[in-house]
Structure 1
Amino acid sequence: MSNRRGYAVGHIRDVEFGPDIKKYMETIESTFIPFGGCWVVHGASPEIIEGEWDGDLVIIEFPTLDDARTWYFSSDYQSISKLRENNSTSSIILLEGVPEGYQAIDTVAKLERS
């Protein structure tokens, strides 16, 4: 089993704030807490240093990528996901964090072996 943290990352744009988004926001925490999820970033508008960005960023951390995946596909989350989907433009990704002690040189060595 991996000891790497899992993350659900959302890039949320063009939000139409109304009763559906309000309900989604009021309910989402109750869907991820049972899977060990916690907020890392919620609705932050980043300071743009390079390139372009529109919208807000959401990051939820989980004990593992499997926990993030299980949460996303859970019936509790799926029962509210349409509230977000129907009232915003969003991209959602799941990814695994780096292991403890990771250094960029680890990836360089992996790429050189390829």
Structure 2
Amino acid sequence: MSAYAIARLRPFAEPGEDVFTYIERFQSTLDPFGGRFLVHGGQLDEVEGSWPGYAVVIVFPDRATAHAWYQSDAYQELVPLRTRTIEGEVIIVDGVAEDYDPAGMAVRMRAASAGAV
């Protein structure tokens, strides 16, 4: 099942050389792990709440591969280039199967809730 690395990056002033280098070298860290961008910046439309900054979404074949990419020497070498300039959060999360049914999730949540009472 696919997994996703999702970053919420805060607004920043001038990107500077560190950020340019980070972006230039980023793809080379993804390639060995089959990662690819689904979202990289782009215009955000805030339809609920506030989301200052930028969104990045990268898909990987699975959670283990996403973690292996994040922990790789190649990516960890780049992380300080971003974090010195841009604040944000990064998560890794599993996707859902093609036949995912949210109603089934509601059934499981309802059953768990009833058992907790």
**Shorter-chain TM-score tier:** over 0.9
Q: How does 1:32-47 map to 2 (within 5 A)?
A: 32-47=30-45
Moved over 4 A (4+): none
**What corresponds to 1:8 in structure 2?**
5
Secondary structure class of the residue paired with 1:109: helix
Q: How does 1:89-104 map to 2 (within 5 A)?
A: 89-104=87-102
Cα deviations across residues 58-110 of structure 1 (Å, max 9, x unaligned)?
A: 00000001111110000000000011111111100000001121011121122
> Is the contact made by 1:45 and 1:55 (CA closer than 8 Å) also made in structure 2?
no
> Is the contact made by 2:19 and 2:81 (CA closer than 8 Å) also made in structure 1?
yes
- Identity across matched positions, percent: 34
Q: Which structure carries more strand by proportion?
A: 1
Secondary structure class of the residue paired with 1:10: strand
Alignment counterpart, residue 56 of structure 2, candidates 52, 58, 63: 58
Secondary structure class of the residue paired with 1:20: helix
C-alpha displacement at 1:113, in angstroms? 2.7
CA distance, structure 2, for counterparts of residue 45 and residue 103 of structure 1: 29
CA distance, structure 2, for counterparts of residue 106 and residue 75 of structure 1: 40
> Is the contact made by 2:11 and 2:54 (CA closer than 8 Å) also made in structure 1?
no
C-alpha displacement at 1:33, in angstroms? 1.2
Structure with greater Cα Rg: 2
Gaps of 5+ in 2: 113-117
In the alignment of these two chains, the number of paired residues is 111
CA distance, structure 2, for counterparts of residue 14 and residue 100 of structure 1: 34
Gaps of 5+ in 1: none
CA distance, structure 2, for counterparts of residue 53 and residue 37 of structure 1: 25
